[in-house]
Amino acid sequence: MLELEHIDKHFNRGTPAEVRAIEGLDLTVKDGEFLVLIGFNGSGKTTLLNLISGTQTPDRGRVRIDGMDVTGLRDYQRSLWIARIFQDPLAGTAPDLSILDNFRLASLRTRPKSFRTAVDRRFRQRVKERLSVLHMGLEEKTDSLVGKLSGGQRQALTLLMAVMDRSRILLMDEPTAALDPKSSDLLIHMASSLITELGLTAILVTHDLRYAGTYGTRLVMMEGGKIRRDLDRNEKSSLTPGDLVSWFT
């Protein structure tokens, strides 16, 4: 279970440019819950994900995972529990490494990086099987450099890499923002299937209200650094597309 208690996060504190990104936020995400987070630009959605993943630390409040206080842990330490897909499709993979090497690194997320050379035939086969579900032909290009792939292909790889190891929380920060509609649909559908299949706890930040209405088991809307609306599965299912649009007008 992921818990955020009384979180405050300000930027440029004490200056004329001070921004109150998050204010007194409380949020609990239960195991296996798929939370979709929507809101205006600047409402604090990405900051919230940064605070959960440890890229940023809160000015006040605590972050807990399974009851353990992780507020003081850095992002690379929180990767024991958390995997992340970034808005920039190029940010989640290393372009000068091969597809296989990227997957190898992802498979070691929760383990020490030792002096072993462990890309063997079995691992290669495992990666090929994972890649085949994309139907992009990447299973035949495992030795190709990731930098030669398209943004959509790289974002799909990032998703598969996110579920390679034992991380149980998946954070997705507008993962379709830079993708064409077909790639976006494929990615979100695949993410939803993997979340259900693996029983992951997930948070998806999106501006696409189609996805917000269709996917997830809970819908949260942020505004001005606070949670304005919080709908469970039943309340969410009774929403019409018009309801969602009206929240933004």
In the complex, the residues that contact other proteins under the rule CB under 8 A are: 53, 55, 74-77, 79-80, 83-84, 86, 90-97, 101-102, 104-106, 108-111, 113-118, 145, 161
Q: Which residue lies nearer to other proteins by CB, 158 or 206? A: 158
Closest to 211 measured CA to CA, from 235, 246, 187: 187
Strand ranges of the sheet holding 68-69, from the earlier edge strand across to the other edge: 19-29, 2-11, 60-65, 68-69
Q: Which residue lies nearer to other proteins by CB, 97 or 231? A: 97
Quickly tell me which residue has 């290669």 as its tokens: 124
Q: Give the DSSP H/E element, type plus range, for residue 21.
A: strand 19-29
Neighbouring CB atoms inside 10 A of 64's CB total 15
Nearest distance from C-beta of residue 227 to other proteins, angstroms? 25
Nearest distance from C-beta of residue 101 to other proteins, angstroms? 6
The residues that bridge with 29 in the sheet, in sequence order, are 2
Q: Which residue lies nearer to other proteins by CB, 117 or 234? A: 117
Nearest distance from C-beta of residue 117 to other proteins, angstroms? 5
Q: Which residue lies nearer to other proteins by CB, 11 or 76? A: 76
Using alpha carbons, list the distances in angstroms from residue 73 to 13, 21, 223, 234.
Answer: 22, 21, 27, 35
Amino acid at 85: I
Nearest distance from C-beta of residue 182 to other proteins, angstroms? 25
The 3-state DSSP class for residue 230 equals strand
Q: Which residue lies nearer to other proteins by CB, 6 or 166? A: 166
Nearest distance from C-beta of residue 32 to other proteins, angstroms? 22
